[in-house]
Every structure is written in C-alpha cells, then in structure tokens.
Structure 1
C-alpha cells in the first residue's frame, strides 16, 4: 500500500496503542503460568500475533484475541514431543524470548521468520550453546536447537540485545536448580530488562538483580496465574510527541508516568530538543533561537526512539542534534541508521550518518514532493509520516502497510487527527 500525505498539522486527543513490549512479556508469562490468565487491552499487532501463535504451537491455550490464556497445559506437558516449526513472523522478541523457553520445556525447538528476522544475530545464544552442549543449525531460514538447559552459570553479552537476557530470565526459573546470568559487558536497553523483571514479579517469579551484571534465579519456580492490563506504549507514543514538537496541538493520553518502559525517555528528549517541559497542551512550536545550538542524546538505552527523535530533530530549527551510541539500529527490521538518513534526506533534511550515530541539522521545514520507501520497517514509515507534516509538498510512502507490525491503526489515527492522506494499493 502507498500512502500520499498532503502536509497539514494534526490536532486532537490521541491514545497510543498498548505496549507491544509489555504484551509480549505478559503473554509469555501467562502461557507459563499454572492456570487461567485474563489480559486486558491487548492489541493484535503482527508481532503480538506471532507470540500468541508460537505459544499455541508450544501447547498453551490462548484465545484468538489474546485476552484469555491458560498456561497449565504447556508446563504440565513439558515431556510431550517438541512442537512443529514456530513461525515468529518478523518479531525479534518472539524468537529470542522463546528459544530458551523451548529448550527448558521441550529440549528442542524449531523457529522460522520473515523479512530480515532470521538474518539478525543470534551469536550470544550460539556462544552459550557451544558451552552448554546444545546443538543448533540454521538452514533455509529455519533455526533448530536441541538440548536441555541445565542449571548453572550463563555468561552472556549485555550490549547486543536485551532480548537474549529476557529469554534466559523466562526459562531459568523452570529448571530444577538455581542459576545465575553474568553479563560480560555493560547492559544496554536496561529499560527492557526492567520490564521483564516487572512481568516476572507480577507472576510470582523471583529474580535477584544486583543492578549491574549479575542476575540470580532460583529454580523450580511456578508462574502464578494473574489478571492484568497492558499499559499504553511509550515507543509508539514517541511519534506523537515528535508531532507535538513540530507544532501539532495534540493531547497524548493513556500513558503510565511510572512505567518501566525505557522509551519514557521520549519526554526528556522532547524537552532537550524543544527547550521546554512537555505538558498536556503541548503543541507550541519553540521560538527560533539566534545562532545554532548543539544537543547530544545518548540512544543506547532507547534505540527504538531514534526514528521519531530524528524526525523531530530534523525539524527543530537552529539545532544540531547528535544521536549517539546507536549502532544496534543496524540490525533491526532495516538498517535504521541508513534508512533514517535515506528517508529524511530524501524529504530535504540534512542528516549525516556515522557508524554508530547520526548528526542532524534542524531546519524549519522540508521540501517534500518525493516518494520514499517505508523499507518494510514500521518505525521508518511512521517517521516519514510525521516528518511529512512540515514538508512543503506532498509525500508518498511506499509499503506503508508495514505499520501493522506494531501499530495496526496508525493510518486511521493519523487521518482522525486531521491528516490529509490518500491510500492506494501498489500495483502487483
């Protein structure tokens, strides 16, 4: 699908979708629990559908809408044969969370995916597998692992992806003895690990974390069934924050100000760029300043914020923004350092790409008048849509349906807020 946007400010109240990151974690914990769990505020994005599909393949009983999950069959049936291939779609969270879970429960598992998913690195797991005697193979986009996880010490990098740590944190409590996770590097994206620890605690699973590099996990733990509500998503809300920083009169609602979500940092990044505290009536465009100023933002703990922050930085006149410590963006749905640069520069921005950073020279408006690719990356397509608000001519985004990965009704919400968009199916 192609979407053509005629530049126009947005206005109105907007409630972002439920947190995809929290939903993954609560669904998996519910599927590992000892009974029925009721989850409220579930949004069936493609990634969440992938996690639900894989949990069903593993024998958990989950309703079609993901709101009722019975996990007892999964844990009680851990001696049953390994499941058929689990289709993780394009969800890195689904794949990396469930590899250790399948090994703990079944002693084996096979996984596949789409897009770039099976090209994304799994080396931190493979290093562990070599040490623990677990066999693995990756052939024709199917990853097969075989061998039982056993209690003990698990040494793993903390600077590749927090998803590897989360996968172990879900699996190790199921083992018949105590274990420890030792991080061999500094932990990046700690907010996501904090979300995992919060989810485990909600289901009665104890993990001792020293706040640095060691997690201690008792074995023989039981996930206790719970009824929970999934909170609003700060990651997707960040695109509306960016729009507010461009002068749109938006009332962003439904977010938990005490959330564990690391992408709550969007509020601080907004303040750094716009030079003012975010308020519910946000929408005032900061007055242009004399000369130029420089803002450096460390993205190591919130890499998913780079696309919306980059869009806002590109349209913050008089400001040169350095987004640093962002190398991991090269292994997302697209190489996001490259695709952010490509799309924003095509729109008329001035973005410089470096191995692990971007430098963005903000200006009052962008030329637009071009067609850009969504690069099969939901966050790139949404970034282009927000940047189009302050373009001087219409912008067409190809492959715009990719937003379904995390925000299925993004285009409907964009139009409801007054966005002038025209949707057309691409020629086959």
Structure 2
C-alpha cells in the first residue's frame, strides 16, 4: 500500500498501543505455565501473532473471550514431541531468539523459518554456545534447524549484540533440573529489556537473581505458574507521537507508565534535550528503536545531533541507519551516515518527497510524522509495514487530523 500524505497538524489525545516487547514476554511466560493465565491489553500485530503461533506449536492453547483479552492454556511440563516442531516466526526477531532455547529445553529443538530479513539476522552467540554443548545447529536456505537438549550450566554471551539472547536463555533455564547462570563478556546493552523479561517471569512465579559483582544472572529450576497480567502502553510507539509534538502538533499522549522498565521511556528526557538548541550527541545503544523518531526531531531543530553506538540498527527489519538516512534525505534533510552513527543537521523545515518504507514499520511511521511539518506532500511506499507492530497507526493518525489517501 502506497499513500500520499498532505501536510497537516495533528490534534487530540492518543493512547499508544500495548508494549509489544512486554506482550511477547507475558505470552511466553503464560504458555510455559501449568494452568490457565489471563492477559489483558493484548492487541494483535504480526509480531505478536508470530509468538502466539509458535507457542501453540509447543502445545499451548489460547482463546480471546473478548477484544484485548486472551486466556492462555500453558504446557506445563507434560508435553512430548515425536518429531522436531516447526516454527514460523514471521518477521519477529524476538520470537525467533526467544524460542530457540525454549524449544531446546521443551522439545529437543525445532525447525525455524521466517520472512523478510529475519533469517539473515545474526544468531552467532547461540550457535557458538550450543555447538559447545553438542547441540546440532544447521542453517541453510533460510531454514534453521537445531536439535539436542539444553543442559544446566554457565552460558557466556556478548552483551553488545542483543539482549534477546539473554532473554531466550532466561526463559528456558528454569525448565532444567539444576541451577544455571547467564553471564555477559561485556557491558550489557539494552539491559532494560532483560529487566522486562525478569518482570514477566516474576509474574509467573520465577525469580531470577543478579549475580553480585558480575555481569550475569542466576536461574534455579522452577515451575512456571499461571497468572493474571496486563500489558502497559508502549513507549517505543509513543515516541512517534512525541516526534509529532516536537514538529508542532499538540498531541496529548495518555496511558504511559512513567516508572516503566521499558528502555524506550528515555524518549521523554531525550525530547527535552533536543528541544533546546545546540549540538548534541545521543547514545542509542540502550534504546535503538528510538532512532527513527529521534532523527525526525533532530532534522527540524537548531543544531546538529550525532547518534552514536548504533551499529545494531543495521540488523533490524531494514538496515535502519541507512533507511533512516534515506528517509530524511528524501524529504530534504541533511544527514551523514557512519559505520555505527548517524549525524543529522537541523534545519527550519523539511520539504517533502517520496520515501521508501523499506518494509520497516518504524521507517513508515517516522516518515508519516515527518510529513506533518513538511512544505509539500509526502508519498510513503509500502505503508502496510505498520501492521508488524502498530496495525491501527494510520487509523489513529487520520483520527488526529492526518490527511492522506491511498495511491
């Protein structure tokens, strides 16, 4: 779907959708429990549907008694498998990386497939760890097959690749019959996502202890228990409405938890850093998903902003350093792309133009918000990419006064 947006200010109140990151985690914790859990404020998106689909393959069941609520019937410890289960992870990196160690612990492995760039995203930390344990690891033609049993013990991971590897192991290790530990060989980036994992596990009765003085976590054998939980609003999606505000649209953002463990809560303070004129350097290692909306803010202010420690953004749904730069350049912005950085030179106004959405939901939403303050119209190619995380984005955008039509 290609759309053409006519510049118009947005007005009104908006509640961001539920946190996709926390929804993944609560669904997995509920699916591993022995009993029925009730989860509130679950809004289907392609990524969430991928996790539900994969946990169903592991033996969980779920139903939606009313919109926004699901009941998850967990697998407990009783499910057995004759053949390796097959998991279609869609385009969800979280689903794939969370499920690999869980499948090893529950089913002795699995066959994993995906769409878009998913199967190109690096899995090296897992491959190295599991091969050391004698677990078979084979990836060819976009299909990953892992087979073997996860063993208790110490797991050493690099902390500067992705916190998703830590989360996958933390979910899986309580299912084993002896204590284990997950250690990091470096400082852990995006640590807040691990905090979110520990919170979801805590709701299911699993306690994860941080090892004193070490970059790591200790996990004891334990059974996941059913629970009732609710997903809070998503700070990463709220960032696009913060950007709209920054560009002059008086949008009131409601329903956010100011004490959230979500790392993207950082947008609230970064908004004010960018609101003051002058040059800035912003480290996005702990909040990489914020780069597209922050870059839009940086494009229409006085001063230059350099976003650093951003190399991991090259491994998202698109090479997000390149596609963020291309998006702003297409709209008349001045951007310089570095190996692990993005430098945006502010100017009074963007011009408009045609943006390739790059099959990346965050690029599409950033372009749509940027369009509200452009001098001319903005065409966004592949706008349907928002279905990955925020299916109602353009419905909300239009309700706030956004003006667009489908080409």
Verify same fold: TM over 0.5: yes
CA contact (8 A) 1:58 1:74 kept: no
Secondary structure (helix, strand or coil) at the match of 1:75 reads: coil
**Cα displacement (A) at 1:80:** 2.5
In structure 1, what is the Cα distance between the partners aligned to 2:380 and 2:56? 35
Give the match for residue 345 of structure 2.
361
Q: Does 2:326 align with 1:324?
A: no
Deviation at 1:271, TM superposition (A): 0.8
Report the 3-state secondary structure (helix = DSSP H, G, I; strand = E; otherwise coil) of the residue aligned with 2:77.
helix
Please report how far the alpha carbon of residue 379 of structure 1 lies from its aligned counterpart in structure 2 after TM superposition.
0.2
Match of residue 341 from structure 1: 325
Q: CA deviation at 1:74?
A: 5.1
Distance in 2 between the 1:237 and 1:414 partners? 13
TM-score (norm 1): 0.92
Question: Cα RMSD over matched residues?
Answer: 1.2
SS at match of 2:206: coil
- Equivalent residue, structure 2, for 1:193: 194
SS at match of 2:167: helix
Once residues 37 and 181 of structure 2 are traced to their aligned partners in structure 1, the CA distance between those partners, rounded to angstroms, is: 28
* Count of aligned residue pairs for this structure pair: 403
Deviation at 1:384, TM superposition (A): 0.6
Equivalent residue for 1:294, pick from 269, 279, 296: 279
CA distance in 1, matches of 2:154, 2:377: 56
Please state whether the residue corresponding to 1:323 is helix, strand or coil: strand
Q: Give a deviation string over 1:352-399, Cα, whole Å, max 9, x none.
A: 10011111111111111x221100000000011111111111010010
- With over 3 angstroms needed to count, the CA separation of the structure-2 counterparts of 1:193 and 1:372, relative to structure 1, is same
1:100-152 deviations in Å (ceiling 9; x for gaps): 00000111111100000000000000010121111011122111100100101
- Structure 1: gaps of 5 or more residues: 276-288
- Which residue of 2 is the match for residue 242 of structure 1? 243
Post-superposition shift, 1:185? 1.3
Indicate if the aligned counterparts of 2:35 and 2:76 stay in contact, CA closer than 8 A. no
Q: Which residues of 2 match residues 46-85 of structure 1 at below 5 A?
A: 46-63=46-63, 67-71=70-74, 73=75, 75-77=77-79, 79-85=80-86
What secondary structure sits across from 1:180 in the alignment? strand
Determine whether 1:148 maps to 2:149. Answer: yes
Aligned-partner SS, 1:376: coil
Q: Say if 1:59 and 1:74, in contact at 8 Å, map to a contact too.
A: no
How far apart are the structure 2 equivalents of 1:21 and 1:107? 26
Shift of 1:34: 1.4
Which stretches in structure 2 are left out of the alignment for 5+ residues? none
Q: Does 1:415 align with 2:398?
A: yes
Contact 1:266–1:305 (Cα < 8 Å) also in 2 = yes
1:22-421 equivalences under 5 Å are 22-63=22-63, 67-71=70-74, 73=75, 75-77=77-79, 79-210=80-211, 212-219=214-221, 221-275=222-276, 293-316=278-301, 318-368=302-352, 370-421=353-404
Mapped to 2, the partners of 1:88 and 1:419 lie a distance apart of 33
| Conservation of the 8 A alpha-carbon contact between 1:334 and 1:376 | yes
Q: Distance in 1 between matches of 2:284 and 2:181?
A: 28
Shift of 1:76: 1.3
Aligned to 1:19: 19
Q: What is the rounded CA distance, in whole Å, between the counterparts of 1:156 and 1:162 in structure 2?
A: 9
* Distance (Å, rounded) in 2 between the aligned partners of 1:83 and 1:409: 36
Higher alpha-carbon deviation: 194-203 or 164-173? 194-203
1:296, distance to aligned residue in structure 2 (A): 1.0
User: Deviation digits for residues 273-312 of structure 1, max 9, x if unmatched?
Assistant: 013xxxxxxxxxxxxx6xxx11111100000000000011
- Output the TM-score relative to the length of structure 2: 0.97
Q: Which residue of 2 aligns with 1:284?
A: none
Q: Distance in 2 between matches of 1:74 and 1:330?
A: 37
| 1:84 CA displacement | 3.4
Q: Does the CA-based 8 Å contact 2:76-2:224 persist in structure 1?
A: no
